[in-house]
Amino acid sequence: MLNIPNEKVRGHQRVPSDTKEFHEATKRDALMRLKKDLDNLLETVEDTRRPAVQKEMCGFEALYHRFLQEDGPSVEWDRIEKLPEGAVKDYSTIKSPQEDHIRDMLDKLVVVKLNGGLGTSMGCHGPKSVIPVRNDLTFLDLTVQQIEHLNKKYNANVPLVLMNSFNTDEDTEKVIRKYKGFQVQIYTFNQSCYPRISRDSLLPVAKDFAIENDIEAWYPPGHGDFYQSFQNSGLLRKFIEEGREYCFLSNIDNLGATVDIKILNRLIGDDQQGDKPIEFVMEVTDKTRADVKGGTLINYENKLRLLEIAQVPKEHVDDFKSVKTFKFFNTNNIWARLKSIERVLNAKTMNMEIIVNNKTLDNGMRVIQLETAVGAAMKCFDGGIGINVPRSRFLPVKKTSDLLLVMSNLYSLKYGSLVMSPQRMFPTTPLVKLGDNHFSKVNQFLSRFANIPDLIELDHLTVSGDVTFGRGVSLRGTVIIIANHGDRIDIPAGAILENKIVSGNMRILDH
């Protein structure tokens, strides 16, 4: 009788180890099969391109290997600690530099823009950076104007680097020819091009390296790929040899991400503190209810690091979204020390969390793409800090509702930078929601406005259904305009709507 429980205990102990061994064997098998598949793919690359592609595939293999190794969540919720005192500096406490130091500081800077995205979500073809956003100027035009103005004003030589993807590279190269006469040196490099993986077989779906023939089989692996691709391009070493010290990196569609002289001063100017250089800065800003999904800064294992919503266990998503618990969110404006990037890459300690992005291709095949986020590298550096910047440094244009704001009289344009109108009584931007069916594509959106309404006193705007706006319309306070299915609402020229609800049959009610 006494032997029976023992048997059960031993049997019970064997099961997990069997399961573990099974998983280990499966992973080893998957890795071996992947290596074989990648070797076969490399056979299809022309000889001149093979060394570069081989380097890229090594990066993919390392990412894939880590994907297989990862077991369970990358963050244990109970081990998140409060941010230490001073971990996030308040922007208002950072000093402005002396005027005669600015040129020297700028000559140690490289500006990098993430330019891998297409404008398809807004109904545009080609790179997102060539969508006109203000006075017929595109994201790229505004960026070049900003940097040229800095270079001219301070007689400096800040280069602009564009990280393209295989989706945007060719079109971007054509566009940048027009900046030849400008006082800005422009460099481009491509982020990696990785094969998508079948969710069933865990193997690449691509059959050869003729990427343009089967573009759906490939993907750019997120902006976390910046570091390795920047080094592979040779630009990282080139800029270090030129004596440049920091790069300022941001999304090309964030119109608030201009070069900030005060932050640069904190890194290499009069405001630099202590002997040890700051290796990594993440600009964060105060979270509002509109930003609850944005990544945030946490203290974990005595390091500052980025926590993205994808890493949060389901039962803690509401905690993550709480404005009280996590006060800041990541703007994706990053400052990083060039020599530190090189050190971390050479030491092979750049281990960013992997984002597994599930997709379904047009042919119905389910695939995964492995990605990383540029801010997730923060934990790999020493002496990283957050800087709590004004909201004006985060002005992304992801949807036409954002476009409405940046095209309006809320902003004026000064040397390629958007400056909020002094007539606006408070610095927050209005909350705008435009219906997907009639407003989501840029061309549709533009056709619905005779000109952009006056938004200076607007707090909140919701528009849904078939709605058009005449010339010289003014929107103030909270305005809700809803055309029911089959109805159409034309807001007449010169109308002033203040705290109004306009419903299906064109009744205008006080809100």
- Distance between CA atoms of 96 and 459, rounded to whole angstroms? 33
- Distance between CA atoms of 500 and 462, rounded to whole angstroms? 11
Q: Answer yes or no: are the C-beta atoms of 389 and 283 closer than 8 Å.
A: yes
Q: Coil, strand or helix: which one is 423?
A: coil
Q: Answer yes or no: are the C-beta atoms of 349 and 303 closer than 8 Å.
A: no
**How many CB atoms sit inside 10 A of residue 175's CB?**
17
191 marked ligand binding residue: yes
**DSSP code string of 159-214:** -EEEEE-TTTHHHHHHHHGGGTTSS--EEEEEPP-EE-EETTT-SB---SS-GGGS
- Distance between CA atoms of 149 and 152, rounded to whole angstroms? 5
Q: Answer yes or no: are the C-beta atoms of 412 and 421 closer than 8 Å.
A: yes
Catalytic residue among 35, 398, 433, 441: 398
Q: Coil, strand or helix: which one is 505?
A: coil
- Residue in the structure block whose two tokens are 């048997």: 7
Q: Answer yes or no: are the C-beta atoms of 366 and 198 closer than 8 Å.
A: yes
107 marked ligand binding residue: no
398 marked ligand binding residue: yes
Q: In this structure, which amino acid lies at residue 307?
A: L
- Residue in the structure block whose two tokens are 């971990």: 87
CB neighbour burial string for 320-354, b if at least 16 within 10 angstroms, e if fewer: bbeeeebbbbbbbbbbbbbebbbebbeeeebebbb
For residue 381, what are its two tokens?
């550096």
**How many CB atoms sit inside 10 A of residue 376's CB?**
25
Q: In this structure, which amino acid lies at residue 3?
A: N
Identify the CA nearest to 426 among candidates 391, 472, 387.
Answer: 391
Q: What share of the chain is helix, strand, coil (3-state, %, to 5)?
A: 40, 25, 35
146 marked ligand binding residue: no
69 marked ligand binding residue: no
Q: For this structure, is 238 an active site residue?
A: no
**How many CB atoms sit inside 10 A of residue 127's CB?**
26
- Distance between CA atoms of 33 and 66, rounded to whole angstroms? 16
Identify the CA nearest to 108 among candidates 176, 162, 154.
Answer: 154
For residue 110, what are its two tokens?
């490289």
- Distance between CA atoms of 308 and 262, rounded to whole angstroms? 28
- Distance between CA atoms of 292 and 309, rounded to whole angstroms? 9
316 marked ligand binding residue: no
Catalytic annotation, residues: 398
Annotated binding site for UTP: 128, 191, 222, 253, 398
Annotated binding site: 128, 191, 222-223, 253, 398
